[in-house]
Amino acid sequence: MMLAILPVTSELTTIWKAWLAFIGAAVGDSQLIEKHKRHYANFKRFIRQELEELQEAGEINSELNLDFEAAAWIATFDGIGVNMIAAPQSYSIEELDTLVSRYLKTLKS
């Protein structure tokens, strides 16, 4: 799922660049910050639902704090995405798949 939002295509790269420009502009604009907070809350809720499904299926630890894990997931993949924009040759699709798989494995124990 996270591979589908990382900047791995020209369309997704354009979306990420627009998002990063928005974040840069939002830093000095309280209305834009509020808009970003709403977007973040919606995205976090979506990620949490995905994690709930994995938890219900027994794919990840049933004791996890899913609010925390959703926030950690977003922070991790935001960092990867920003790095991909700043250094486009940094990850292949296979390496990204490995990163996602490794991250999910940490949620199993």
Query: What pLDDT score was predicted for residue 81?
Result: 92
How many domains are there within the chain?
1
Q: Alpha-carbon distance 82 to 45, whole Å?
A: 21
Query: Does 22 fall in a domain?
Result: yes
How many CA atoms does the CB half-sphere of 106 hold within 13 Å? Answer: 9
Query: Does 90 fall in a domain?
Result: yes
Mean pLDDT of 8-17: 93
Query: Does 1 fall in a domain?
Result: no
Q: In which domain, by residue range, is 77 found? A: 10-108
Q: Alpha-carbon distance 25 to 98, whole Å?
A: 33
CA 2 from centre of chain: 6
Query: Does 55 fall in a domain?
Result: yes
pLDDT band at 109 (very low <50, low <70, confident <90, very high): low
Check pLDDT > 80 for residue 48. yes
Query: Does 17 fall in a domain?
Result: yes
pLDDT digits (tens, 9 = 90+) for 15-46: 999 999 999 999 999 999 999 999 999 999 99
